[in-house]
Amino acid sequence: MSLIALGIISAIIFIKFKPIYQVSISGEEVGYIESKTELEDNVKQTINENNENVDSVKITIEPEYELKLVNRTIETNEEEVASAITKDMIVTYKYYEIALNESVIDTVSTIEDAEELINEIKENKQEELEQNNINLTVTEKYTEEKVETSTIEIARVNLNSKVDTAIEEEKARKEEEERIKNMPDVNGIKLATAPITGTITSRYGVSSSIRSSRHTGLDIAATKGTPIKVVADGTVTFARYNGSYGYLVKVNHGNGVETWYAHTSKMYVTVGQEVKAGDVIALVGSTGNSTGPHLHFEIRINGEHVNPQNYLYK
């Protein structure tokens, strides 16, 4: 065949056909494109344009490209191909968390935004931050998301309100730490609350005509039906009528520490029940050997009663 004939045939082919890439993902054809490099660059550019804090983009399933001669009437569909590629793309987002001690108050896209926010907080709240020993920190964070399920949002908040809340939370945390630190300690068990508020009518160790021995606890007078709170976490070991004690509740707090609540009119707990400090376990009454509504309260360490006023009602 002459060179002229070959030239004519080639011209006819290129008039009727065109070279384009057929794109397949996992063996499935998704469409045609003219340039694979341009397609991938456009995909990444689109993701970056739509997401401020993109750090990197990774194609998890590489598309397959096959150069073909196809009829010139066939149109490329870059947009659909791009959509198919991005469906399984992994985007790594970078952002910055601003925190007051352990409390995150905001997230921003850039370190410049973070520094601007830190300066704004210091300008408005420096004195309160110093008074409460609150540190401002910026932490660089990363997270990976599929493009189609991405939920990362960088949204500014009401800054003053958030900072004020964080400061109040820090104050409350420190107050709670101080409160726990100052709780009465019985053999390593912290007493979080007094069982009732009332008038002490008989102290530990006193003698009385209505008793055969010295007083083993503390009597606190209160109106019948006053709620009685357990002083610390523990387990109920006794909850029934017991002679001169009347309706009696005993709670074991561990470390050999036990508390007794006597003369109650009603009990709300049963043996084996776990209780938390401040739970109402009974009501003030006058059952057993009693001359009027009151709580007989005892603290025992390894079975031996001790003066409750060494710890409570000082």
DSSP calls for 126-171:
HHHHHHTTPPEEEEEEEEEEEGGG---------HHHHHHHHHHHHH
User: Are the CB atoms for 239 and 269 separated by under 8 Å?
Assistant: yes
- Mean pLDDT over each residue of the chain, to the nearest integer: 83
- Reply yes or no on whether the pLDDT at 152 is more than 50: no
Q: Please tell me the distance from the alpha carbon of residue 86 to that of residue 150, in angstroms, as a whole number.
A: 12
pLDDT digits (tens, 9 = 90+) for 219-276: 999 999 999 999 999 999 999 999 999 999 999 999 999 999 999 999 999 999 999 9
314's tokens:
């000082």
For 285, other C-beta atoms within 10 Å of its C-beta total 22
Question: Domains (ranges, CATH) in the chain?
Answer: 3-87 (no CATH), 94-181 (no CATH), 189-310 (2.70.70.10)
* Strand, helix or coil for residue 43: helix
| Segment 79-96 mean pLDDT | 79
238's tokens:
């006794």
Q: With 0-12 CB in 10 A as exposed, 13-18 as middle and 19+ as buried, what is 24?
A: middle
Predicted model pTM: 0.52
At residue 220, what is the residue type? I
pLDDT digits (tens, 9 = 90+) for 43-53: 776 666 656 67
User: Are the CB atoms for 294 and 286 separated by under 8 Å?
Assistant: yes
Q: Please tell me the distance from the alpha carbon of residue 293 to that of residue 265, in angstroms, as a whole number.
A: 9
